[in-house]
C-alpha cells in the first residue's frame, strides 16, 4: 500500500480500481459457483425454494444500488458481492453497479485512505502532527462504535 501512496493521484486511483474490481468480481463469481454447485447437492431444494426465488428476484431488481453503495462501507463489501453471486444477480445489473462502487472506493482510498496511511507512517516516524491525526482517527472510530452500540441497545429496548 505504501507504494500506491507514492503514486500520482490518477495512477493510484486506477491501481486501486483494478484491485477492487478483481476482488469484487472474484467474490461474485465464487458466489455464483457455490450457487451452481449447490444445485447438484442436497441444497438444491433450498436453493430452488420459493423464498430463495423471491430473494433472487429482489437481488436482481434492487441489488445494484446495494452493490454500488457497499463500497462506501467497511466490512460488508465481501458479503454483498458474494450474496449478489449466490442470488445469481444478472451481469447486466451487477457489472455497472460494481464499476460504480469500485470507482467510489478507489477515489475514497486514493484520497482519504492513503492520507490516513501517510499519517500512520508519519506517526510511526515520530511526527507530532502524524501522531495527532492517528489519535483523532482512533477516537473517531471508537466514538462511532460506541454510538452505534448505544443506538442498537436503545432500538432493542424499545422493540
Q: Give the number of other Cβ atoms within 10 Å of residue 17's Cβ.
A: 19
pTM to 2 decimal places: 0.65
Average pLDDT over residues 49-56: 78
- Residue 59 has which C-alpha cell? 437481488
- Residue 50: band (very low, low, confident or very high) from pLDDT cuts 50, 70, 90: confident
Which residue reads 480500481 in cell numbers?
A: 17
Distances (CA, A) of 106 to 32, 102, 158: 25, 6, 39
Which of 32-36, 48-52, 55-59, 148-152 tops mean pLDDT? 32-36
Directed axis angle between helix 128-158 and helix 114-124, to 10°? 120
Directed axis angle between helix 91-108 and helix 50-70, to 10°? 30
- Residue 5: band (very low, low, confident or very high) from pLDDT cuts 50, 70, 90: low
**Which helix (H) or strand (E) is 58 found in, with range?**
helix 50-70
What is the rounded average pLDDT for all residues in the chain? 83
Per-residue model confidence (pLDDT) at position 58: 77
- Residue 38 has which C-alpha cell? 449447490
Residues 6+ apart with CB under 8 A from 131: 122, 123
Higher pLDDT, 32 or 122: 32
- Residue 94 has which C-alpha cell? 451487477
Amino acid at each position: 500500500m505504501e507504494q500506491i501512496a507514492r503514486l500520482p493521484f490518477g495512477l493510484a486511483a486506477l491501481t486501486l480500481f483494478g484491485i477492487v474490481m478483481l476482488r469484487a468480481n472474484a467474490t461474485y463469481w465464487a458466489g455464483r459457483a457455490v450457487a451452481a454447485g449447490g444445485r447438484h447437492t442436497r441444497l438444491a431444494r433450498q436453493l430452488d425454494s420459493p423464498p430463495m426465488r423471491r430473494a433472487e428476484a429482489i437481488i436482481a431488481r434492487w441489488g445494484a444500488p446495494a452493490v454500488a453503495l457497499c463500497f462506501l462501507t467497511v466490512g460488508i463489501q465481501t458479503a454483498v458481492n458474494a450474496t449478489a453471486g449466490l442470488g445469481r444477480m444478472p451481469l447486466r445489473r451487477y457489472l455497472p453497479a460494481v464499476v460504480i462502487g469500485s470507482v467510489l472506493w478507489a477515489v475514497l482510498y486514493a484520497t482519504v485512505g492513503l492520507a490516513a496511511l501517510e499519517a500512520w507512517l508519519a506517526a510511526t516516524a515520530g511526527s507530532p502532527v502524524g501522531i495527532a491525526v492517528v489519535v483523532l482517527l482512533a477516537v473517531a472510530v471508537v466514538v462511532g462504535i460506541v454510538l452505534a452500540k448505544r443506538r442498537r441497545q436503545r432500538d432493542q429496548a424499545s422493540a
